[in-house]
Amino acid sequence: MTPSDELAVAIIGAGSIGTRHYSNLEFIPGNRVVAVCDADDAQASKLASRAGAQTYPSVDAMFDAESGLDAVLICVPPGIRRQVFERAAERDVAVFCEKPPADSLEHAQAVARIVRDSGILCMAGFNMRYLPPVQRMRELIAGRTINLALCTYLSAPALTGGFRPWFFEKARSGGPLLDQAIHYVDLMRYFVGEITSVHAFGSNVARPKGPGFTIEDTAVSTIQFESGAVGHHVHSWATPWGYTKFELNGPDFHLALEPAGDTPGVFGTIGDPKGEGTVVHDAFPRAASLGRDGSRKPDAPLDAPPDFMHYQEMVTFLDAVRTGDTSGILSTYADGMRTLAVVLAMNRSIESGQVEPVVVPAV
């Protein structure tokens, strides 16, 4: 801890999510961002000037110069994870690692071993697990049989832009499944349990592959759970006027989850299928304070956290670092690696055309 008893935090990657996390860190007492590391000096300086922090062009330069760090946030593309963990483990610095946990199973396995062997505190950035409607869904489904999980996420960045170019390069981002569907696949695992195999298809009808665009613009995946339940995930970056829908179904319930946005909550029916059932309408306060450009919406309540979607996970992480009590962490690195294994199996299935088993590396 710093002399003032504030946690000394470094942000690695001063892009979209690094900046959003910074807005929440500013809002949460008891921490100070002392270092910002980004390969792009302009990006680093922009964020560091807000924080009054030192800038660094590389992870090594930062760890060489900063001896008093309590925690680092990894907010860089998924190919950059292991070197941060190696340096953090040498110094017993806690790590918050954005999703995806890594860009390959080998990479994730190496990181998971560093975490295990060093015993450093680590949390994977599966922020949705920490959202109130997600926790409410967990309460409502406790003890119930789930036979079908359905998720559809339709958006249009492949047609409209709005994402940085690396997101459209499969070798760097892993495409829509590794980069974004991973959130919803993680929720499926969180609610329904382990996934054993998948069959996925990709499409480039809307935007053909070419230089600078090597991802599928749309993908559909069928999912087999260990419990015997089945599921389906549809993900598109090429559907304007899109929407998101996440549903769980069982013999005695149907529940739809709105994790955030304008109408967060859990909605549906629970009861005897031959009877009328009880209507569930558990709405939570409107969640979005930041607009798409990262600036605060004019109508956002002043006491609302700047970035609600990522607020509770950051509070949880900082509390764990401060107290050493990790019981609030709902997304360990090892668990995140299991979700990673599912989306990598989906990407493999797109290539092979076959049903692919979910292979989780031993740690």
- Report 70-89 residues binding ligand NAD (CB under 6 A): 75-78, 80
- Torsion sign (Cα): 137, 146, 255, 188: positive
Task: Fill in the per-residue mask, 166 to 185: x = in contact with ligand NAD (CB under 6 A), - = not in contact.
Answer: -------------x------
- Euclidean distance between CA atoms 5 and 322, whole angstroms: 9
CA angle 135, 235, 350 (to 5 degrees): 120
Which run of H or E residues covers position 36?
A: strand 31-37
Radius of gyration of the chain (CA): 20
Min dist. Cβ of residue 198 to ligand NAD (A): 20
Closer CB to ligand NAD, 175 or 231, in the complex? 175
Q: Is residue 16 within the footprint of ligand NAD (CB under 6 A)? A: yes
Select the span of 36-44, 278-286, 333-341, 349-357 touching ligand NAD (CB under 6 A): 36-44
Shortest Cβ distance from residue 191 to ligand NAD (Å)?
Answer: 18
**What kind and span of H or E run contains 125?**
strand 122-125
Which positions from 38 through 57 interact with ligand NAD, judged by CB under 6 A? 38-40, 43
How many angstroms separate the CA atoms of 209 and 218, rounded?
Answer: 12
Q: For residues 38 and 66, which CB has a smaller minimum distance to ligand NAD in the complex?
A: 38
List phi, psi (to 5°) of 11. Answer: -110, 120
Which positions from 298 through 357 interact with ligand NAD, judged by CB under 6 A? Answer: none
Number of helices and strands in the chain (H, E): 12, 15
CB nearer ligand NAD, residue 179 or residue 335:
179
Range in contact with ligand NAD (rule: CB under 6 A) among 8-16, 64-72, 324-332, 354-362: 8-16
CB contact at 8 A, 243 and 184: no
CB of 78 to ligand NAD, least distance (A): 5
Q: How many residues bind ligand NAD (CB under 6 A)?
A: 22
Q: How many CB atoms lie within 10 A of CB 229?
A: 21
By beta-carbon distance, which residue lies closest to ligand NAD?
A: 15
127 binds ligand NAD per the rule CB under 6 A? yes
Is the backbone of residue 324 left (phi > 0), alpha (psi -120 to 50) or beta? left
Tell me how far, at minimum, the Cβ of 229 lies from ligand NAD, in Å: 26
CA dihedral 193, 194, 200, 202 (to 10 degrees): 80
With respect to ligand NAD, which residue has the nearer C-beta, 189 or 199?
A: 189
Residue closer to ligand NAD (CB basis): 15 or 357: 15
* Chain contacts with ligand NAD (rule: CB under 6 A): 13-18, 37-40, 43, 75-78, 80, 98-99, 125, 127, 164, 179
